Amino acid sequence: SKLNNIEKPTTTLAIENVHKQPFIIGVAGGAASGKTTVCDMIIQQLHDQRVVLVNQDSFYHELTEEELATVHEYNFDHPDSFDTEKLLDSMENLRHGQAVDIPNYDFKSYKNSVFPARRVNPSDVIILEGILIFHDPRVRELMNMKIFVDTDADVRLARRIRRDTVEKGRDIGVVLDQYSKFVKSAFDDFILPTKKYADIIIPRGGDNHVAIDLIVQHIRTKLGQHDLCKIYPNLYVIQSTFQI
């Protein structure tokens, strides 16, 4: 019988060695497209699951003194401005069930070493969010689901002006210069070309409740499929008894 089977040590060993891999979702899109709102809504609706959010912003390279002195010439929208190796490292650790410390990036001081770093624990769902999260094929390969938030350029610019002047305390002239010098062309050259990798493209970002509902439903279905009982149908008794 099944109960006789589960008492054999070999069977127990097999269960211990099975590591449940998290479901990894990538959320990309232009700056100020509403990525954060989409992520927040997914997290809110998955309240009964363990979900963590990792921002690509946390992996901005530290600026040198020279770069800091001429910060308005620095292109924060170029793929090279991120430490992708470090991001990959953190994601690999999380994927294998290890907690990681992720720096908090400070947009005012341009520093990512603001302590304390955020301790991120391994979870059932990991959401990776950022403008260029689909740029590196190795990062894309980690993802079980890729979402691109598609918001018109005028809406993104309007939001950016409000956010950078009100929240980040920047001068409007500097914000507009940065937009025309770097942000607009980086969107066309690096961000928009990654839209083709998306499984789902959400028009209007966080305003699109129907899209968020469908995404959450799909994640729930996939999480169900990850359960041990589905992988090892004969072990369902063990799962319900010991709550693996």
Please choose, from the candidates 50, 32, 34, the residue with its C-alpha nearest in 3D space to the C-alpha of residue 107: 32
| Four-residue CA torsion sign, 32, 33, 34, 36 | negative
- Asked if 35 touches ligand CTP (CB under 6 A), the answer is yes
Stretch that binds ligand CTP, among 15-23, 30-38, 42-50, 219-227 (CB under 6 A): 30-38
- Cβ at position 118, least distance to ligand CTP in Å: 15
- Asked if 31 touches ligand CTP (CB under 6 A), the answer is yes
* Other C-beta atoms lying within 10 Å of the C-beta of residue 132: 20
By residue count, the chain amounts to 244
Pairing of strands 111-120, 100-106: antiparallel
From 49, 107, 123, 195, residue interacting with ligand CTP (rule: CB under 6 A): 107
Compute CA 130 distance to the chain's CA centroid, rounded to the nearest angstrom.
7
Please choose, from the candidates 134, 123, 126, the residue with its C-alpha nearest in 3D space to the C-alpha of residue 200: 134
Site residues (CB under 6 A) for ligand CTP, limited to 115-134: 129, 131
CA angle at 80 for the pair 43 and 100, rounded to the nearest 5° = 40
- Cβ at position 234, least distance to ligand CTP in Å: 45
- Asked if 112 touches ligand CTP (CB under 6 A), the answer is no
| Four-residue CA torsion sign, 138, 143, 145, 148 | negative
- Asked if 76 touches ligand CTP (CB under 6 A), the answer is yes
Token pair 């350029």 in the structure block, residue: 153
Stretch that binds ligand CTP, among 34-42, 92-100, 213-221, 231-239 (CB under 6 A): 34-42
Residue number, 137 or 169, with CB nearest to ligand CTP? 169
Site residues (CB under 6 A) for ligand CTP, limited to 219-238: none
The single-letter DSSP state of residue 75 is -
Q: What is the DSSP string of 124-176?
A: SEEEEE-TTTTTSHHHHHT-SEEEEEE--HHHHHHHHHHIIIIIS---HHHHH
- Asked if 26 touches ligand CTP (CB under 6 A), the answer is no
Count residues contacting ligand CTP (CB under 6 A)?
16
Site residues (CB under 6 A) for ligand CTP, limited to 182-221: 183
- Asked if 148 touches ligand CTP (CB under 6 A), the answer is no
The single-letter DSSP state of residue 187 is I
Stretch that binds ligand CTP, among 6-14, 31-39, 135-143, 232-240 (CB under 6 A): 31-39
Site residues (CB under 6 A) for ligand CTP, limited to 54-73: 57, 60
- Cβ at position 75, least distance to ligand CTP in Å: 8
Q: Which residues bind ligand CTP (CB under 6 A)?
A: 29, 31-36, 57, 60, 76-77, 107, 110, 129, 131, 183
